Amino acid sequence: MGDYTNMAGYYDVIMTSGYYDYAKIVDSLVAHQPQRNVLEIGCGTGLILEELAKRQPKLPITGIDLTAPMLSIAQKRLAPFSTVSLSQQNITELVLDDKHELAFSYGGVWYFVIDGDKEPFLVSHIADEQANHLGFEHLAKHIALGGTLLLGIQGPHHDYETVISNGMKYSQKIDPTDIGFTKHYYLKEGDHKVMDQTVHYRTYTFAQAQELMGTYGFEYVSAKDVNQLFLQFKKVK
Ligand SMILES: C[S@@+](CC[C@H](N)C(=O)[O-])C[C@H]1O[C@@H](n2cnc3c(N)ncnc32)[C@H](O)[C@@H]1O
């Protein structure tokens, strides 16, 4: 489920070639003015957390991720920041000491896709239905009552190929499945394939997502934040 081992060594160069806008993501997070502590679920190589730790040097920050090679890059990147702690965990079995005032995922365990005027739908890196319940159940235990959960918004996925900053060719291919879709990620140097990774995603309609998340106390608050990058949920029970 959601294993990024194959991509780990190339993740940063793909993402920082324009895939995500990290400065803008962190603008949205700091707009929520977290003071006490923040948790990122699916922090990957720590690109968001590095920017967040630079901008909020006193804020205690925790990042968790399933994929050891992603996390080891994050560990090196975030070593200079004593406020950041990282641990290798699957969200479905999450155990941390603290409850957090703000938790978020941008492209991490869960995110929303918004396609034009259509209703948002939830995309999960966890293909199994019961495991998604376990994930939200465990996450809920680590967010304070009244705390906030932000899940990132992305545009619809489509097949494409592009040259990234190191000259390699990144491509992705989407295949619909009964439970959502499968996404294939490829990286090529000339004709030589240097990376391929396949992730099976489960999707939920907005109504299904609200029901699933509502079971664990997450209530939908608002459509979009200042930068239109996150949907906001509040932990109400
Ligand atoms: C697309 S990356 C996003 C990384 C980071 N948020 C960023 O913006 O660069 C998705 C990450 O979610 C992690 N992930 C997927 N399923 C997970 C799970 N069940 N528990 C914890 N992390 C998970 C993967 O290991 C991967 O590092």
Q: How many domains does the chain have?
A: 1
Span from the CA of 204 to the centroid of ligand 1 (angstroms): 18
Write out the H or E segment, with its range, that includes residue 188.
strand 180-189
Q: Is the C-beta atom of 111 inside 6 A of ligand 1?
A: no
- The residue whose C-alpha atom lies closest to atom 1 belonging to ligand 1 is 107
Within a domain: 80? yes
From first to last of the 237 residues of the chain, give the pLDDT tens digit: 689 999 999 999 999 888 889 999 999 999 999 999 999 999 999 999 999 999 999 999 999 999 999 999 999 999 999 999 999 999 999 999 999 999 999 999 999 999 988 999 999 999 999 999 999 999 999 999 999 999 999 999 999 999 999 999 999 999 999 999 999 999 999 999 999 999 999 999 999 999 999 999 999 998 666 678 999 999 999
Q: How far is the CA of 6 from the centre of ligand 1 (A)?
A: 13
158: burial class by Cβ within 10 Å (0-12, 13-18, 19+)?
A: exposed
- Answer yes or no: is 31 within a domain: yes
Q: Is 114 within the bounds of a domain?
A: yes
Contact 186, 193 (CB under 8 A): yes
Compute the distance from residue 93 Cα to the ligand 1 centre, in Å. Answer: 15
Would you say residue 83 lies in a domain? yes
Residue 2 located in a structural domain: no
Q: Is residue 175 part of a domain?
A: no
User: Is the residue at 138 inside a domain?
Assistant: yes
Segments of 50-167 assigned E as strands? 61-65, 84-88, 100-105, 110-113, 121-124, 143-154, 160-163
From the CB of 48, is ligand 1 less than 6 Å away? Answer: yes
- We report the CATH number of the domain holding residue 151 as 3.40.50.150
Spatial distance between the Cα atoms of 132 and 137, rounded to a whole number of angstroms = 8
Q: How far is the CA of 218 from the centre of ligand 1 (A)?
A: 21
229 lines ligand 1 (CB under 6 A): no
Query: In sequence order, which residues have a C-beta less than 8 Å from that of residue 141 and are 6 or more positions away?
Result: 94, 99
97 is in which domain, residue-wise? 8-155+203-235
From the list 199, 208, 180, 195, the residue with the least C-alpha distance to 107 is: 199
112 in a structural domain = yes
Report the nearest-CA residue for atom 26 of ligand 1. Answer: 44
